[in-house]
Amino acid sequence: MRNRSQVLELAILGLLHAAPMHGYQLRKRLNEMLGLLRPFSYGSLYPCLKALAGQGLIASSDEPADRAAMAVSRRGKIVYRLTAEGRGRLESLLGEAGPASWEDENFDVRFALFAQTDANTRLLILEGRRARMAERLDGIKGAIRRGLPTDHYTQELQRHTLEQVEREVNWLEHLINSERDARWGPSGAAPAAAAASATAATAATAAATTRKRIPQKEHQ
C-alpha cells in the first residue's frame, strides 16, 4: 500500500468482508473505524468503489441493504458486496507485513483490521511499528538533549510530541506482550519448547508411577 487510494481500498474490502453495505453506510463505518484523523469524503469513496467494481473485487446491486433501510425508503439503494476475487485480494493485502504496514499512512487501517489478520502477521506489524516509534523517540530525545535554541512554544511542542510517542511505544509493548501470551502463554515459551517440556514431564510422571508400583507387586 503506497498511497491513500490503496489504504482506502483495504478499508473498504475489510468492511465489506463483514457485510454488504451501501455507500452511506460505508462512509459512516469508515469514519467510525478510522476516526476523525482520517476522514473520508464521497469524493474519494465513490471513485474507489467504481475502481474496485471494475477490477471485479466488489459487485453492486440495486436493493436495500437490510429491512431497516427498506422501512425508511422504498427506493432501492446500490449495495456493494465482496466477490470471491475481492476476498482473495483482501487476504493478500492482510498478509503483507513489510515496512509500509507500520508507517503512519497505513498502520491505523491495518490495526483496525487485526481481527481478520493472522497472528504471525499481527505480531510482525506490531514489532515493526514499535521499532519505528522507538527510532522516532530517540530522535526527539536527541533533539531535546542537544538543546538547540527554540522558543517556549517549540519546547512545549517537543514535550507534547515526546509524551505522545512514549505513550505509543508503551501501548505497543503491551499489545506485543498480549499477542505473545495468547500464543505461547505468560511464560513466553515457544509452542515446540512448551510441548517438549510437557512431554518430558509426562514421561517423568509415568516413570515415577511405575517405580512405585513394582515394589508393591513384589511384596504381595
DSSP 55: T
Domains of the chain: total: 2
Q: Any residues with CB less than 8 A from the CB of 16 and at least 6 apart, and which?
A: 26, 58, 80, 81, 82, 86
Same domain, 126 and 174: yes
Whether 2 has a pLDDT exceeding 80, the answer reads: no
Same domain, 82 and 21: yes
d(CA 95, CA 88): 11
What percentage of the chain has pLDDT greater than the value 70? 71
Describe the chain by its helix, strand, coil percentages, rounded to 5.
75, 5, 20
Domain membership flag for residue 147: yes
Per-residue model confidence (pLDDT) at position 168? 97
Select the more confidently predicted residue: 2 or 52: 52
Strand 78-82, strand 21-22: pairing = antiparallel
Per-residue model confidence (pLDDT) at position 3? 64
d(CA 93, CA 195): 33
Contact 58, 42 (CB under 8 A): no
d(CA 52, CA 68): 26
pTM assigned to the model: 0.74
Select the more confidently predicted residue: 67 or 6: 6
d(CA 201, CA 96): 39
CA diameter of the chain: 93
Same domain, 57 and 90: yes
Domain membership flag for residue 199: no
Same domain, 87 and 123: no
Same domain, 11 and 85: yes
Same domain, 13 and 58: yes
Domain encompassing residue 49: 4-96
Domain membership flag for residue 103: no
| Digit-coded pLDDT (tens) for 77-104 | 899 999 999 999 999 999 999 999 999 9
Q: Any residues with CB less than 8 A from the CB of 191 and at least 6 apart, and which?
A: 183, 184
Helix axis angle, 4-18 relative to 84-94, nearest 10°?
A: 120
Domain membership flag for residue 91: yes
Per-residue model confidence (pLDDT) at position 155? 86
Compute the residue count for the chain: 220
Q: Report the SS3 class of residue 80.
A: strand
* Boundary (domain end) residue, out of 38, 62, 96: 96
Domain membership flag for residue 207: no
pLDDT band at 36 (very low <50, low <70, confident <90, very high): low
| Digit-coded pLDDT (tens) for 112-135 | 999 999 999 999 999 999 999 999
Strand 21-22, strand 58-62: pairing = unpaired
Where are the alpha helices (H) located in 35-151, listed in sequence order?
Answer: 42-54, 67-72, 84-94, 104-112, 119-146
Per-residue model confidence (pLDDT) at position 162? 95
Same domain, 87 and 16: yes
Same domain, 84 and 127: no
Sign of CA dihedral 149, 152, 153, 156: positive
